[in-house]
Amino acid sequence: MRRFDEQLAELNNMMLEMAALVEKTITMASQALIEQDTKRAKNVIAVEADVEQKEKEIESLCLKLLLQQQPVAKDLRVISSALKMITDLERIGDQAADISEIVIMMNGAPYAKNPEHISQMATATVKMVTESIDAYVKKDLKLAKSVIAYDDVVDDLFDKVKFDLIEMIRSDGKHGEQSIDLLMIAKFYERIGDHAVNIAKWVVYSITGKQA
């Protein structure tokens, strides 16, 4: 294998590592949210620092490859897509940390109602992020497009959460603060879904050369 192909394989591995870290932040943040586990929520913030570190390493490798190899065609698309995707991955990590901070602030106060739709949003967004990176590594156009389409599921769940929270406030005004916290959390998940869509769109570009 020539040196450039080895470097591209290394880039793929690093993307997988960064994606695994990001998945870990969302999964941990979601568990912390459901179980009201502030200790786990604090750990998310530590993992998020690793995500940022990995972003810098990938950025540095991509810039080195652009300089050294002056890539064209598929190679250029793969490297430029990676550079764009890591920004979205890093933002997902940030949003998982933001969710965790709210969990820490809520400090274990019992939920007025089981946040089942938020829990479903968590599962859906983890799936989107995982599949978008799988699509990148396996160059799977169909999977990338299915991630883009799946955003509607997350958006529908967000609407359900809003409806649940309106009902919660309406039933008892004292749930106002918790409702707003949960609304922010749901909004962070909705944004995570949008970032996964961005990643999937860059996957489409890296495979086809056309912006989705």
Question: Within a 10 A sphere around the Cβ of 72, how many other Cβ atoms?
Answer: 8
Q: How far is the CB of 134 from other proteins (least distance, A)?
A: 23
Helix-, strand-, coil-residue percentages of the chain, each rounded to 5: 90, 0, 10
Q: How far is the CB of 70 from other proteins (least distance, A)?
A: 6
Stretch that binds other proteins, among 66-74, 81-89, 109-117, 196-204 (CB under 8 A): 66-74
- In the range 77-96, which residues lie near other proteins by CB under 8 A? 77
Binding to other proteins by residue 74, rule CB under 8 A?
Answer: yes
CB distance 39 to 85 below 8 Å: no
Does 72 participate in binding other proteins (rule CB under 8 A)? yes
Tokens coding 42: 């604090």
Residue with smaller CB distance to other proteins, 122 or 207: 207
Q: How far is CA 193 from CA 53, 62, 149, in A?
A: 22, 25, 11
Question: Nearer to other proteins by C-beta: 80 or 146?
Answer: 80
Name which position in 73, 107, 174, 211 contacts other proteins (CB under 8 A): 73
How many other CB atoms are there within 10 angstroms of residue 45's CB atom? 18
**Could you tell me the two tokens for 12?**
């793929």
Residues that bind other proteins (CB under 8 A): 2, 4, 70-77, 208-210
